[in-house]
Amino acid sequence: MSTSHQKTSAAIAALDYVQDGMVLGLGSGSTAEVFVRKLGEYVAEGLSIKGVPTSERTADVAREAGIPLIPVDQADCLHVTIDGADEVDGHFQLIKGGGGCLLREKIIAHASDLMVVIIDETKLVGALGEFPLPVEVDPFAFTLTAKKVYDALTRSGIERPDVQLRRKGDGLAPYITDGGNYILDCACRTIPNASATDQALKTIPGVVEHGLFLGLARVVIVGEDSGARVMEL
């Protein structure tokens, strides 16, 4: 079966973590959008929730689905965040940011009581790193920051990383995040010590955030051909 079927299976299973009256963090990306649309069906049937989107794109999808949204600064608490991932390893460590929303996704995930990650089975990996690690940076002096990022990745045990500025579809202009920043896509092939890489990147002025999500996910739901597999820490 297709990955779209697996994404739908994972999204439906994630609805078991939603209860009436909750404030939900709504993730970004294709799998998260499937969840948002399914959630909208439940709202239409009477489920009372409020959503906090992690991107402008998610906000648009949620409004189309009829989900009531609130500004993040009006959220006294976030009960559950449902989001996708580009890679998930066996320790529930994630790479996120392929869609360019990693900063807002991490802010919302960190503020939530529970983060539930929904993926198709192709995103479950033995070791992180085949998917390029996104690093969100301030546009000011980004070339200097890129050199520092390369050095930090190398110090953390990554061999010959390739750090490239993400560009728009035309291949010319830099890609701009919702927060007005640039993204460096770092091809690492494998990340031997995600914690060391996390700490090394955090020390660099100019790095706004990076796509390693460590210690945040507590539930991973893997969509499979036969349904969904729920894994909990």
Q: What is the pLDDT of residues 104-126, one digit of tens each?
A: 999 999 999 999 999 999 999 99
Can you give the residue ranges of every domain in the chain?
3-125+214-223, 133-209
Residue 1 pLDDT: 60
* CA distances (Å), origin 124, targets 103, 117, 196, 231: 22, 11, 21, 12
Regarding the domain delimited by 3-125+214-223, which CATH topology (the fold level of the hierarchy) does it fall under? Rossmann fold (3.40.50)
Cβ pair 229, 125 in contact under 8 A: no
Catalytic residue numbers, as ranges:
105
Pick the CATH number of 133-209 from 3.40.640.10, 3.40.50.970, 3.30.70.260, 3.40.50.1950: 3.30.70.260
CA 85 – CA 108 distance, rounded (Å): 14
pLDDT for residue 169: 87
Prediction pTM value = 0.95
- Listed as ranges, residues in the chain with pLDDT below 70 are 1
> What's the pLDDT at 106?
98
